[in-house]
Structures are given as C-alpha cells and as structure tokens.
C-alpha cells in the first residue's frame, strides 16, 4: 500500500513536474510572444513617425525654397495679385496650413487670403530673423507642426521672405490609429492562441514552438519587412517596393496601406522635385536646374568645350509699364516658346534653354565648333523676324534680347566665372544699342 502511494506520489510528482515545466514553457512562450509583438510595434511606429517627419520636413523645405525663387520677381515689383495666386496654389497642397510672404522688416505682405487681413503685422520670431539673416531654409518643428522660412532676394538685395507651416496632426492621428488597431488585433489573436494551448496542455510544448514559429513568420517578419521598407523610403530608395503579400488578414491590410502610403509619398516627392526645377511661368528649367546643369558640364572629364549664352530681354519694363505685369508675363511666356522652337530648328538638340531670372534667360550650347555654333545660335535668337516693325502700333518697343557669350574653357573654368563673363558680354551688348550679340573678350568686346 505504501508502495502504491509511493508510486502514485512519484507519478504525481512527475506529472506535477512535467506540468510545471510545460506551464513554465508556456509562460516563457507567452512572454516571448508579447515582447516580440511590442518590439515590432515600437519599431513600426518609430519608423513610420520618423519617415513622416522627414518627409514633412523635406516637403516644407522644398516648398519654401521653391516659393522663394518664384516669388522674387513678384515681390520686387510688389505684385500682390501674382503673390496671392502663388500662395493660393501652395495652400491647396495637402497639410499646408499657412503660407505668408513678409518684407525685409518681418512684416506681412500677403497671407494668401483675398482680403490680406494680416497685412503689415509683424512676424517677430527667431525663425523669421534666421531666414532673413541666412541664405538657407530655416526650420522649426514640434509634434504637431513644421515651419520653414526662406529669404527672398535678388542678387545681394534682401526683399523679404516666405513662411510655410505644415500641420502634422492629421498624419500623426492616422499613424497612431493604425498602430492601435494593429495592437488590438494582435492582442486578440494572441488570446485565441493561448486558449487553444490551455485546452491542449499535453501538446503545449509543440503548440508553443509552432506558435512561436508562426508568430515570427506571420507577424514579426512582415512588420520587420515594413520597417526595412520604411528605412529605404527614408533614404529615398523607392525601387521594387512590392510589400503586398496577398494576405487577407490584418497584416495584409497593413501591408497594402503601407504600400499605398509609400506610393503617395513617392508621387508627392517626384511632383515637388519636378516643380522645384521648373519655372512656373514659362515651363522652362529654372535657375536651380541651370546651376546644376552648368556645374555638371564644367565637371565633366575629360573637359568638353561648350558655350554659355546670357540673354537679357530688352523693353520688358516698357511692356509692364504700358500694359501691366500680366501682359509682361504673357510676353515672357511667348518669348520662351518662340526661343525654344527656334533652338529646336537651329541647334539640332545641342542647345539647352533655361529662365534664370525675371527677364533673364541662359542657353548652354554644345554644338561644334563651339564659338561658331554659339554665335550662330545667338544671332538667330536676336535676329528681327521679317516684316516686324520697329515699334508696336501703340508705341511700345518690341520685346527683343541682348545676348552675351562666354566659352568654356577659353574664358573661364568655373561656373561662377563663366557666368560672370557671359554677363559682362551681355551688358556690353546692351551698351552697344540692345538687340546685339557680344562674344566675351578679356579687356575688349566683339559685337556681332
């Protein structure tokens, strides 16, 4: 009898010990599962928040920089209607809460509204002062907003600046809501698995191992893949982002939502980048695009000769004074179209045209021979069309161009020096009577 109780005790002790081990293994599995879920959720949330913050900073900074370039001429002529049109366009962009143009004293010039109710109000903040003092975009960010300010100027003259504020509340709420739904669904799935493990206690070890493997494969690995994709997007790499595994569960929904968000960010980034390199009035490449293209040509190895044509329009001020800035803008756009069409016929694809200022254009010509091709192209651009009168019917002089030419590497070997040489030749063309072509000569001039 005592043996029987002893054997039972041993069996019971063994069962209790095995049960204890199994329960300990079950607890360990539960703790591991919950820890993995929380780590994956934290990583996903941190990656999404960082990605959204960096994307918002980039969008706000690029928009402020772009507006600073495009508003310089309008602010110089104090064209409130043109300024208002550009601010209205910017305010229509997603999450853009406020866009304000201010003068060099930090006072509001235009706030994007029809009545300009804040006109003349002082914007007394360190961000405004930093923007007016420097030549880069000044940024300030908190949890709910990002502000970017950029100085507007022509040459060394500071005309004022532009302030852009983006509201992050909607984006943060969307991220928080998505992570909360994911956490709730993961917790619900975990409770169902634990109930099944309790019923099948004898198979708890195998079930635990299987559940751990399933969690790693079905939950943690996809979330880590999303986090890796978020880091790639953060670095600007949008290639081959095939995140949709075809799953129909909550993680499949998260994958499709994340892929849609990545596609939207990619599209927005591409649109903003494209606008940052285009002049909105003429559709030509702008000053930023010109500077980068000129620098790339100068940096080519081996060095390839080319010519820089600097065009300054004659009589644009008379058009603006007589007919208004809208007519002047139409004239600028018409000149750009005519010049582009003429270059397509004359330069055989070896000329590249950009608008680099209010009434200033530039052409990079790679035709050979460099000097002859550049002069021929410049003369074609400056030549008076057959039958064109000396003045318009209302007495306004026609819109013509004075053109200066500088050659690389004959006249200069750096972008700034080459542009200076072409600018000098252009002013010589102006002094020679306008509508002239001058090839830069150190210490002299050669008009044609």
Domain span(s) for CATH 3.30.70.270 in the chain? 287-447
Cβ(119)–Cβ(108) below 8 Å: yes
DSSP string, 176-209: HHHHHHHHHHHHHHHHHHHHHHHHTGGGHHHHHH
Q: Give residue-wise pLDDT tens across range 177-222.
A: 877 887 788 778 777 777 777 776 666 556 556 655 666 666 767 7
* Nearest in space to 163 (alpha carbons), one of 90, 217, 270: 90
Long-range pairs for 202-207: beta carbons < 8 A, 24 or more residues apart: 204/22, 204/23, 204/25, 204/26, 205/22, 205/25
Residue 369 confidence (pLDDT): 86
H or E element at residue 150? strand 145-154
> What confidence score (pLDDT) does residue 288 get?
94
Count Cβ atoms below 10 Å from residue 178 Cβ, excluding itself: 18
* CATH class held by domain 72-167: alpha beta
The pLDDT value recorded for residue 47 is 78
In this prediction, residue 293 carries a pLDDT of 94
How many angstroms from the chain centroid is the CA of residue 291? 17
pTM of the prediction? Answer: 0.44
Nearest to 385 by CA among 443, 336, 435: 435
In the numeric block, which tokens belong to residue 81?
């209607």
Ranges in the chain annotated CATH 3.30.450.20 = 72-167
Q: Decide the pairing of beta strands 351-355 and 360-365.
A: antiparallel
Structure confidence at residue 286 (pLDDT): 93
Q: Report the SS3 class of residue 109.
A: strand
Shortest CA distance to 286 belongs to which of 364, 335, 357? 357
How high is the mean pLDDT in each 10-residue block of the chain (448 residues)?
A: 47 66 74 74 75 85 92 91 92 91 92 91 89 90 90 90 90 78 78 74 62 65 71 67 69 73 73 81 93 93 92 89 89 90 84 92 89 90 56 59 93 94 94 90 60
Q: 287-447 — its CATH code?
A: 3.30.70.270
């Amino acid at each position: 009898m005592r043996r029987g109780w002893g054997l039972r005790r041993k069996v019971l002790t063994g069962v209790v010990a095995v049960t204890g081990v199994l329960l300990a293994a079950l607890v360990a599995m539960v703790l591991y599962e919950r820890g993995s879920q929380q780590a994956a959720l934290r990583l996903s949330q941190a990656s999404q928040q960082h990605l959204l913050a960096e994307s918002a900073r980039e969008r706000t900074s690029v928009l402020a920089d772009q507006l600073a370039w495009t508003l310089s001429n309008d602010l110089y002529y104090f064209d409130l209607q043109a300024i208002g049109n550009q601010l209205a366009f910017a305010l229509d962009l997603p999450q853009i809460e406020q866009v304000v143009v201010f003068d060099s004293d930090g006072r509001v010039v235009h706030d994007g509204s029809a009545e300009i109710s804040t006109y003349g109000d002082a914007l007394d903040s360190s961000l405004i002062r930093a923007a007016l003092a420097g030549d880069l975009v000044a940024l300030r960010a908190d949890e709910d907003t990002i502000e970017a300010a950029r100085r507007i100027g022509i040459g060394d003259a500071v005309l004022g600046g532009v302030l852009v504020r983006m509201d992050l509340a909607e984006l943060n709420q969307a991220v928080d809501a998505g992570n909360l739904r994911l956490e709730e669904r993961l917790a619900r799935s975990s409770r169902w698995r634990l109930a099944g493990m309790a019923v099948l206690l004898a198979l708890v070890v195998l079930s635990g191992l299987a559940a751990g493997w399933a969690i790693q494969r079905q939950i943690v690995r996809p979330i880590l893949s999303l986090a890796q994709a978020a880091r790639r997007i953060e670095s600007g790499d949008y290639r081959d982002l095939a995140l949709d595994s075809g799953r129909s569960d909550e993680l499949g929904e998260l994958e499709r939502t994340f892929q849609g968000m990545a596609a939207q960010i990619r599209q927005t980034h591409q649109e903003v980048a494209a606008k940052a390199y285009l002049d909105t009035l003429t559709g030509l490449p702008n000053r930023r695009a010109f500077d980068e293209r000129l620098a790339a040509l100068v940096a080519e190895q081996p060095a390839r000769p080319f010519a820089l044509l600097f065009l300054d329009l004659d009589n644009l001020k008379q058009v603006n004074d007589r007919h208004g800035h809208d007519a002047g803008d139409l004239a600028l756009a018409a000149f750009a179209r005519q010049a582009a069409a003429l270059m397509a016929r004359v330069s055989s694809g070896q000329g590249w045209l950009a608008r680099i200022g209010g009434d200033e254009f530039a052409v990079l010509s790679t035709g050979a021979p460099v000097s002859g091709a550049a002069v021929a192209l410049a003369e074609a651009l400056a030549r008076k069309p057959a039958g064109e009168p000396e003045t318009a019917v209302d007495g306004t002089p026609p819109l013509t161009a004075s053109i200066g030419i500088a050659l690389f590497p004959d006249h200069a070997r750096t972008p700034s020096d080459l542009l200076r040489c072409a600018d000098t030749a252009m002013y010589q063309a102006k002094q020679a009577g306008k509508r002239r072509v001058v090839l830069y000569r150190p210490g002299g001039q050669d008009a044609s």
